[in-house]
Structure 1
């Protein structure tokens, strides 16, 4: 019986994750960004001018070429500006006012979406849900330590 419940739980997590990802992608596309561009823009907003192309590539586990393409599009659309760093070895990446407005717009959109997703949940149910997720994450980390395989940060 427990094996059947575990299978249902895994199927539920996967289905819910896909539905959430699809919904978020649609919301991001509606405001004129691609998922990867959006994550990079949010990261730049949080890191400020400290973000570098190399650091972004490492953070999101993507190629520097993919980062270059996303940054080029964000710059063309006026969300970021790039300038040569002080030592002429790297691009300094900064968010523009238009970029900050897009970040705030998307944060508002996500807050509204999150509120809708968890409408009808009591505070206790949310705390139970968080507790379950933390247990699953701890089990994954434990599995990685004992059994190896898997990337450290997915």
Structure 2
């Protein structure tokens, strides 16, 4: 029986690292939808706090006075805005909501990201609802090993050579 590890709360640094991994993996169209979904998932008071922190760090014209989820997604297309987001205190909350968003989960569940699941960390498998298990109970290929080939050849051909 497979033991599951106890879930532990992620530190802000772990949340930012997961965000960076997902952001580097998903296409821009998925990232835009994920930013909008993440911003929508955050309570309005915290949205205003995050926007205030971004306004304090970014040039005056960058962050409008009132930002809709779609406008927030457009703002996050800017590398300086994304860099600022990961440095402000509320940034980890946005990062966690971004990673857990429906567009990201959908990308890894049934989109192009599902094709790369073998190369994704286990937490991405959990996010997408994929069961993670070692391939073939630890065997990583489907070919016979050297000793397996020798015994098959010996049985089939009567050859007694030792491979």
TM-score, normalised relative to structure 2: 0.30
Bigger Cα Rg = 2
The structure where helix makes up a greater share of residues is: 1
Where relative contact order (Cα < 8 A, 6+ residues apart) is larger, the structure is 2
Q: Which protein has the bigger strand share?
A: 1
